[in-house]
């Protein structure tokens, strides 16, 4: 029974955090994600160079092994690529792009999907049926296919990639929001509120929405992870982000050609960074699911 | 009533079909260890039906499962002996128990709807019970036996039914199939855990009738777990009453129901509506059975007992009386006069 | 049963029709292939000639009509780049992709089902927890990066397996298949494994969850009470019940597997539809793009139909109600 979840917020949140922290693995996930977020935000401060500023690059530094010192006098902990870019810097800046795209796409998809889902739940009947048909149709297509075709049509660009990702993801949010809202809207107190003449807006924002949020949060973490992975895959294939905005996927792609010649560091380290980022989000999402999914019995 | 239909007298030297001594079953969690069955002893002779009675939580089902060796972690059998036909078996030895189960010991469960696997045919589910224990029996022969068993429990058109799927049968039919399956290898003991609770009354009486017949004709011993005293009265010859994991009373059905010894037994009888009696009101037993995690050290029934006295602060032992009846109480009802209340 | 199939086929045809319209119109919007295919400095009459040849000057509905008529006859136009029928190109690449996808699916199931069943049967065992942990890792690993690592480890460092391409093929029933040759197998192993990993985590989780659900059911207890050995209880009674949700999911995921083969094919230079479509997108070879999408749509419809049929065969409750 949640009459108004907005009321008892502070205490609930703290309790929630305490429960979350009971799984050490989940805490590790949260920490890793936090660290990577920090790295992305403070990128210029923690990297010796901006790898995409042509002025800072020196071809003499290309293909340095991890641990070698470059011409600018500092050590390249993770080596350099064939343009002389410090891999560490490339990773940190790449994280930025990956996170911006992933969080951006996830956030927008969440908003759009939630609106559609709650709307469908509230309206019911034919509109609901129709909307869910659209959702099912969307979901029956593999994400990669949809993204490929959209980007083929639209061309490269950060905004376009985000658009493609949102198109792929909104449906998950819509379905989840609708389920949660449906469960909530069937509760007696909603009928009571409606018969009292309480406005739709009040019902939506005061009750349906807050009670859908837990379910949305679970999906959100996992969808952001998926968005980041999908974007990385697209970049790797050469579709999507322009060369001027390289995400981790592109960094990995750049290093691809050098694998066979043994210069593994150009691909392995950025790959590890990507794995850590996505893994941490998945761990968080998994833990959230354990905590918030009402169907799961402890 | 059922006694007159019993098998010709057994030789007095025959061991009981099933004998359980001091069975202890516990559930172990990080926080606490619960004792669901505390030193329970029962004995059933060939061809007899023993009713095991109690409210939910009394431990009667767990007793049945323990005897079959079907207790899974976090539960474990912590002590006691089980003897089938006089021979001791280790209920924790899954291999040994597996050979017994379905062959000499069988069990029927409460909910017929899900007792049978929905994706396998009845024939498969019955014949496998035979071929597992008797690999030398041919498939055709096993099918034949299954068909006969179905006929035995009163299922019409058994040959066609054999090839159907469970969802094509009603609840009552499915329960009969379960009983037929239990009978396939002519077990010495069948443990029935509230098999008719989920069925309507007319079906129930039919099934009880079949069961009686089987018991009579084959000499199968039954342990009938139930909370329904009318079933006890109509079917069983002996009854054991359980409370909070312990036995509180045992005896022949007639005696126990007409002249109960334990206050709890009396409470159970009094709380059942009787169409013939002139009772004005139903008298429920006040209070609730204690949780296993919260058992008092006194007699477990004392908190609810109208006859409790100071001496009840100590758990009484199970006393075997000269007439064979057993009771766990320091003030059995035949020693208490009508006006003798307790210090409640 | 036949009525059921007939209805589904009809539905499928409708879906394909809708897809064809959507695909055709959508692809039509992609830039102007002329600008890509023809040197901008080419004389105007060559441009005009090419435009006419490709039919690009016709209004949209006419172009669609020409397309639809041709499509029904198996003619999806000629590739702008290779000047051979697009359908032919795609069809030639199809067996390679399907071979990869099926092998990948097979591996994912062969590994995932036993692991998932074990994790569901003994969830508290340390090995089960390890399996579940690895499955999360499986979701998190970018397939393409894993593929790269595989090449590094098995080809470059250990020199055990080839780093790309398809092996020798032999023709079976008119189709070139490579898994029947040893050389073909060595080439197939890594990419198929890579693709399998994509879905392995999902399958393990699904099987484990189903297993846990099923083991709680009464009929499992009854099976044990009959004295059936554990291997029969788990391997027959439990297993037959987890097949149901598994079939549904696997069917749906197979389509995803085929689409995702794009990535694996790129990394391992596997000559399938995936590589073809990437190149075609890059040069805006419209007929090939359309052919790919239409074929994929057809594949999806067929897969869905097969899954429905399989499900009704596995679950007697569905089968009989359809007949009734």
Max Cα–Cα distance, chain C, nearest Å: 87
pLDDT at position A79 is 78
Q: Of C249, C313, C304, which Cα lies nearest the Cα of C9?
A: C304
- Rounded to whole angstroms, how far apart are CA atoms A226 and A173? 13
CA atoms in the 13 A half-sphere facing the CB of C203: 26
Within 8 A of A286 by CB-CB distance, chain C residues are 136
H helices of A21-124, where?
Answer: 24-41, 43-46, 87-123
Mean pLDDT of chain C: 81
User: Chain C residue closest to A228 (CA)?
Assistant: C142
- Rounded to whole angstroms, how far apart are CA atoms C230 and A200? 56
B150 DSSP 8-state letter: H
Within 8 A of C316 by CB-CB distance, chain B residues are 118-119, 165, 167
Q: How many domains does chain B have?
A: 1
User: What range defines the domain where residue A189 resides?
Assistant: 21-50+78-292
**pLDDT tens, position by position, A102-112:** 999 999 999 99
Of C224, C225, C237, the CB nearest to B117: C237
Residues B75/B80/B82/B86 CA torsion (nearest 10 deg): 170
- Provide the CATH number for the domain around residue A193: 1.10.3720.10
Q: What is the DSSP string of B255-267?
A: HHHHS--SHHHHH
pLDDT at position A67 is 72
Cβ neighbours of A45 (radius 10 Å): 9
Mean pLDDT of chain A: 80
- Note whether residue B322 is domain-resident: no
Within 8 A of C261 by CB-CB distance, chain A residues are none
- Note whether residue A142 is domain-resident: yes
- Note whether residue B52 is domain-resident: no
pLDDT at position B202 is 83
Contacts of A129 (CB under 8 A, 6+ apart): none
Cβ neighbours of B46 (radius 10 Å): 20
Residue A72 has pLDDT above 80, yes or no: no
CB C30 within 8 A of CB A151: no
For the record, the structure tokens of B343 come out as 């210090």
Q: Residue A7: which pLDDT band, with cuts at 50, 70 and 90?
A: very low
- Note whether residue A63 is domain-resident: no
Of B102, B117, B133, the CB nearest to C225: B102
User: What range defines the domain where residue B163 resides?
Assistant: 120-184
- Backbone torsion region of residue C255, taken as left when φ is above 0, otherwise alpha when ψ lies between -120 and 50, otherwise beta: alpha
- Note whether residue B152 is domain-resident: yes
Phi, psi of B251 (to 5 degrees): 175, 180
CB B299 within 8 A of CB B290: no
- The residue with greater pLDDT, B44 or C285, is B44
Contacts of B199 (CB under 8 A, 6+ apart): B112, B171, B172, B175, B207
- Note whether residue B223 is domain-resident: no
User: Chain B residue closest to C239 (CA)?
Assistant: B119
Residue A4 has pLDDT above 50, yes or no: no
- Note whether residue A96 is domain-resident: yes
Q: Do C240 and B119 touch (CB under 8 A)?
A: yes
- For chain C, say whether A145 makes contact (Cβ under 8 Å): yes
C 259-288 near A (Cβ less than 8 A) = 259-260, 262-263, 266, 277-278, 281-282, 284
Q: How many domains does chain A have?
A: 1
Specify burial of residue C99 (Cβ count, 10 A radius: 0-12, 13-18, 19+): buried
Q: In this structure, are strands B319-320 and B326-327 parallel, antiparallel, or unpaired?
A: antiparallel
Max Cα–Cα distance, chain B, nearest Å: 68
Residues A6/A8/A11/A13 CA torsion (nearest 10 deg): -20
Residues of chain B with confidence (pLDDT) below 70: 1-13, 274-282, 337-344
Phi, psi of C238 (to 5 degrees): -75, -45
Segment A237-244 mean pLDDT: 79
CB C84 within 8 A of CB C93: no
- Rounded to whole angstroms, how far apart are CA atoms A280 and A38? 14
Segment A122-140 mean pLDDT: 82
- Note whether residue B55 is domain-resident: no
**pLDDT tens, position by position, A33-56:** 999 998 888 877 877 777 777 666
Which of A156, A271, A285 best probes binding to C when mutated, by most C CB atoms within 10 angstroms?
A: A271
Q: Do A140 and C259 touch (CB under 8 A)?
A: no
A 77-116 near C (Cβ less than 8 A) = none
CB B5 within 8 A of CB B61: no
- Tell me the β-bridge partners of B24: B38, B79
Of A225, A233, A259, the CB nearest to C140: A225
- Note whether residue A61 is domain-resident: no
Dihedral sign, Cα of residue C116, residue C215, residue B105, residue B18: positive
- Note whether residue A199 is domain-resident: yes
Cβ neighbours of A4 (radius 10 Å): 10
pLDDT at position C39 is 62
pLDDT at position B344 is 43
Residue A75 has pLDDT above 80, yes or no: no
Q: Do C27 and A153 touch (CB under 8 A)?
A: yes
pLDDT at position C40 is 64
* Residue at token pair 């062969």: C110
- Note whether residue A69 is domain-resident: no
With a pLDDT cut of 70, the percent of chain C lying above it is 88
What's the whole-model pTM score?
Answer: 0.81
Q: Of C259, C252, C233, C235, which Cα lies nearest the Cα of C311?
A: C252
- Backbone torsion region of residue C249, taken as left when φ is above 0, otherwise alpha when ψ lies between -120 and 50, otherwise beta: alpha
Q: Do A283 and C252 touch (CB under 8 A)?
A: no
| Reported ipTM | 0.84
Residue C109 has pLDDT above 90, yes or no: yes
- Rounded to whole angstroms, how far apart are CA atoms B122 and B147? 10
- Note whether residue A7 is domain-resident: no
């Amino acid at each position: 029974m949640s009459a108004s979840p907005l009321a008892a917020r502070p205490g609930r949140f703290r309790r929630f955090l305490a429960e979350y922290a009971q799984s050490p693995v989940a805490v590790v996930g949260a920490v890793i994600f936090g660290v990577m977020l920090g790295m992305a935000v403070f990128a210029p401060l923690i990297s010796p160079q901006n790898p995409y500023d042509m002025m800072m690059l020196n071809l003499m530094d290309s293909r340095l092994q991890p641990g070698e010192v470059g011409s600018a006098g500092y050590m390249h902990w993770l080596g350099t690529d064939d343009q002389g870019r410090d891999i560490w810097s490339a990773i940190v800046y790449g994280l930025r792009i990956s996170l911006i795209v992933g969080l951006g796409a996830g956030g927008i998809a969440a908003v759009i999907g939630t609106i559609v889902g709650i709307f469908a739940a509230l309206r019911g009947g034919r509109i609901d049926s129709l909307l869910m048909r659209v959702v099912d149709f969307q979901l029956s297509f593999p994400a990669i296919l949809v993204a490929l075709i959209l980007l083929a049509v639209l061309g490269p660009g950060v905004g376009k990639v985000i658009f493609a990702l949102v198109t792929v993801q909104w449906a998950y949010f819509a379905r989840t929001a609708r389920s949660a809202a449906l469960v909530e809207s069937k509760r007696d107190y909603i009928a009571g509120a409606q018969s009292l003449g309480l406005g739709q807006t009040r019902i939506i924002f005061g009750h349906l929405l807050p009670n859908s949020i837990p379910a949305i949060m679970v999906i959100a973490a996992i969808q952001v992870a998926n968005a980041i992975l999908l974007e990385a895959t697209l970049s790797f294939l050469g579709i999507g982000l322009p060369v001027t905005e390289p995400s981790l996927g592109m960094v990995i792609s750049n290093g691809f050609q050098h694998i066979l010649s043994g210069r593994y560091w150009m691909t392995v380290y950025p790959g590890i960074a990507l794995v850590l980022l996505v893994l941490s989000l998945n761990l968080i999402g998994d833990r959230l699911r354990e905590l918030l999914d009402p169907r799961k019995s402890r | 009533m059922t006694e007159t239909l019993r098998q010709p007298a057994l030789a007095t030297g025959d061991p009981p079909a099933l004998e359980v001594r001091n069975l202890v079953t516990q559930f172990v969690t990080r926080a606490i260890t619960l004792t669901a069955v505390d030193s329970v002893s029962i004995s059933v002779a060939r061809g007899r039906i023993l009713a095991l009675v109690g409210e939910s939580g009394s431990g009667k089902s767990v007793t049945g499962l323990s005897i079959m060796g079907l207790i899974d972690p976090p539960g474990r059998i912590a002590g006691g002996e089980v003897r089938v036909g006089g021979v001791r078996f280790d209920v924790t030895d899954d291999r040994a128990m597996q050979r017994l189960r379905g062959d000499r010991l069988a069990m029927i469960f409460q909910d017929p709807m899900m007792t049978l696997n929905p994706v396998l045919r009845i024939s498969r589910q019955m014949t496998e019970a035979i071929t597992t224990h008797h690999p030398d029996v041919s498939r055709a022969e096993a099918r034949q036996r299954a068909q006969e068993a179905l006929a035995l429990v009163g299922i019409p058109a058994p040959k066609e039914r054999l090839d159907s799927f469970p969802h094509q049968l009603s609840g009552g039919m499915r329960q009969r199939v379960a009983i037929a399956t239990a009978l396939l290898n002519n077990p010495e003991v069948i443990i029935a855990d509230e098999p008719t609770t989920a069925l309507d009354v007319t079906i129930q009486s039919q099934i009880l009738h079949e069961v009686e017949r089987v018991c009579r004709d084959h000499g199968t011993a039954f342990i009938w777990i139930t909370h329904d005293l009318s079933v006890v009265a109509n079917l069983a010859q002996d009854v054991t009453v359980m409370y909070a994991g312990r036995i509180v009373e045992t005896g022949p059905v007639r005696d126990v129901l007409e002249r109960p010894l334990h206050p709890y037994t009396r409470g159970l009888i009094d709380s059942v509506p009787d169409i013939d009696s002139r009772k004005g009101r139903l008298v429920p037993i006040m209070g609730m059975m204690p949780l296993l995690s919260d058992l008092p050290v006194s007699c477990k029934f004392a908190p609810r007992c109208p006859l409790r006295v100071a001496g009840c602060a100590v758990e009484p032992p199970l006393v075997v009386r000269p007439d064979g009846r057993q009771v766990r109480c320091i003030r059995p009802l035949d020693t208490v006069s009508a006006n003798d209340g307790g210090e409640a | 049963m036949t009525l059921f199939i007939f209805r589904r086929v009809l539905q499928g045809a409708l879906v394909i029709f809708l897809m064809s319209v959507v695909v055709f119109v959508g692809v039509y919007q992609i830039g102007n292939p002329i600008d890509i295919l023809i040197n901008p400095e080419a004389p105007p009459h060559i441009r005009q000639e090419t435009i006419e040849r490709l039919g690009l000057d016709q209004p949209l509905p006419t172009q669609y009509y020409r397309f639809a008529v041709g499509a029904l006859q198996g003619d999806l136009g000629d590739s702008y780049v290779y000047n051979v029928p697009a359908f032919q190109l795609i069809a030639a690449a199809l067996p390679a992709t399907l071979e990869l996808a099926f092998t990948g699916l097979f591996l994912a199931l062969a590994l995932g089902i036993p692991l998932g069943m074990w994790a569901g049967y003994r969830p508290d065992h340390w090995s089960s927890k390890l399996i579940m942990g690895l499955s999360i890792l499986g979701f998190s690993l970018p397939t393409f990066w894993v593929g790269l690592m595989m090449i590094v480890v098995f080809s470059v460092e250990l020199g055990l397996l080839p780093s790309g391409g398809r092996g020798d093929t032999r023709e079976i029933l008119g189709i070139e298949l490579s898994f029947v040759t040893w050389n073909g197998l060595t080439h197939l192993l890594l990419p198929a494994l890579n693709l399998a990993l994509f879905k392995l985590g999902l399958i393990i989780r699904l099987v484990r969850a189903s297993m846990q659900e099923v083991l709680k059911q009464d009929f499992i207890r009854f099976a044990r009470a009959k004295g059936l050995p554990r291997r029969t209880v788990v391997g027959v009674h439990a297993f037959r019940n987890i097949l149901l949700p598994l079939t549904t999911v696997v069917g749906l995921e197979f389509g995803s597997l085929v689409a995702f083969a794009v990535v694996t094919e790129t990394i391992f230079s596997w000559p399938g539809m995936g590589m073809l479509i990437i190149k075609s997108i890059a040069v805006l070879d419209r007929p090939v793009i359309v052919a790919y999408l239409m074929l994929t749509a057809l594949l999806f419809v067929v897969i869905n139909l097969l899954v429905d049929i399989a499900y009704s065969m596995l679950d007697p409750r569905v089968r009989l109600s359809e007949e009734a």
